[in-house]
């Protein structure tokens, strides 16, 4: 991304909306916005396989592995406004397991792009399955969309839930039910 060009465009946008980009509070805003967009869209420059790196480990266990409540922050591709929430990932290892932090890194790579939640959920599931050739994968995302909260229908309490289930999570209703039950444990305890 050309940060200097993005800052120029932000400066032009400020003028177009009726602001003075030279007033005290806005003098460095174009550069700050450019830096923010560099970070918020950094997923475009990262190969998801590179975050997995060598953190794939042989395992003889054939059990379900779940990481819940991974924070998600992304930008909706329709309005470029944030959506945020949590992601729950489960998979059944075939012969290999993934280092636990790598699941969160996969979420970050795909969420730091302009997105729709439906595609983001599916991309994460496919990447986890590919990384360890998992027998099955389940991903559930629960997010709040500022494009729906701040504008349009202005529904502040709405939460969008999406899921992607692959392999045994798709084919076996008992496996899918176990995953969904386990990611809801905290809600029952609270």
Residue 70: enclosing H or E segment and its boundaries?
strand 64-76
Q: What is the pTM of this model?
A: 0.93
pLDDT in tens, the chain (190 residues): 999 999 999 999 999 999 999 999 999 999 999 999 999 999 999 999 999 988 999 988 778 999 999 999 999 999 999 999 999 999 999 899 999 999 999 999 999 999 999 999 999 999 999 999 999 999 999 999 999 999 989 998 999 999 999 999 999 999 999 999 999 865 555 5
Tokens of 122: 């599916």
d(CA 85, CA 1) in angstroms, rounded, equals 26
Tokens of 16: 């177009």
In the chain, what are the domains? 3-40 (no CATH), 51-189 (3.30.1130.10)
Buried-exposed string 103-133: b where 16+ CB fall within 10 A, e elsewhere: bbbbbbbbbbbebebeebbbbbbbbbbebbe
């Amino acid at each position: 991304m050309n940060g200097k060009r993005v800052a120029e465009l932000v400066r032009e946008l400020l003028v177009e909306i009726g602001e003075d980009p030279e007033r005290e509070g806005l003098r460095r805003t174009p550069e700050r916005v450019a830096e923010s967009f560099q970070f918020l869209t950094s997923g475009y420059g990262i190969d998801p396989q590179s975050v997995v790196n060598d953190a794939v480990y042989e395992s003889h266990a054939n059990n379900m592995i779940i990481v819940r409540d991974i924070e998600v922050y992304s930008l909706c591709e329709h309005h470029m406004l944030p959506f945020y929430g949590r992601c729950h990932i489960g998979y059944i290892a075939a012969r290999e397991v993934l280092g636990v932090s790598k699941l969160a890194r996969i979420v970050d790579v795909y969420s730091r792009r302009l997105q729709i939640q439906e595609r983001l959920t599916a991309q994460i599931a496919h990447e986890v399955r590919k990384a360890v050739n998992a027998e099955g994968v389940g991903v559930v995302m629960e997010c709040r969309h500022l494009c729906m909260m701040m504008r349009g229908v202005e529904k502040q309490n709405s939460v969008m839930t999406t899921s992607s289930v692959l392999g045994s999570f798709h084919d076996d209703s008992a496996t899918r039910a176990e995953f969904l039950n386990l990611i809801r444990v905290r809600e029952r305890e609270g």
